[in-house]
Amino acid sequence: SYANYNNVRIGERAAGMGGAFTAMTGDSAALSFYNPGGLARLKSRTVSGSVAVYNKYDTKVGEIEDPTAAPLRVNRGYFRPKPSASGAVQNHAPFWTAFSVVTPDFDYYNGEVKSNSNTISNLNLVDESLWVGGSVAIQFLENHHLGFSTYYTAQNYSRSISDRNTVGANTTVTIEDKNLTNNNLVVIGGYQYTFTPLWTFGISVRLPSVELYGTGNYSRSVTNTAAGRTETTNERERFSESRIPPKIGVGI
Residue 1, pLDDT score? 45
Residue 15, pLDDT score? 83
Asked if residue 141 has pLDDT above 80, the reply is: yes
Task: Over range 101-130, report the average pLDDT.
Answer: 86
Task: Over range 217-235, report the average pLDDT.
Answer: 91
Task: Over range 233-242, report the average pLDDT.
Answer: 92
Residues above pLDDT 90, as percent of the chain: 50
Residues above pLDDT 70, as percent of the chain: 86
Task: Over range 168-189, report the average pLDDT.
Answer: 93
- Say if CB 244 and CB 184 are below 8 A apart: yes
pTM: 0.82
The overall average pLDDT reported for the chain is 86
- Say if CB 180 and CB 216 are below 8 A apart: yes
Amino acid 225 reads: T
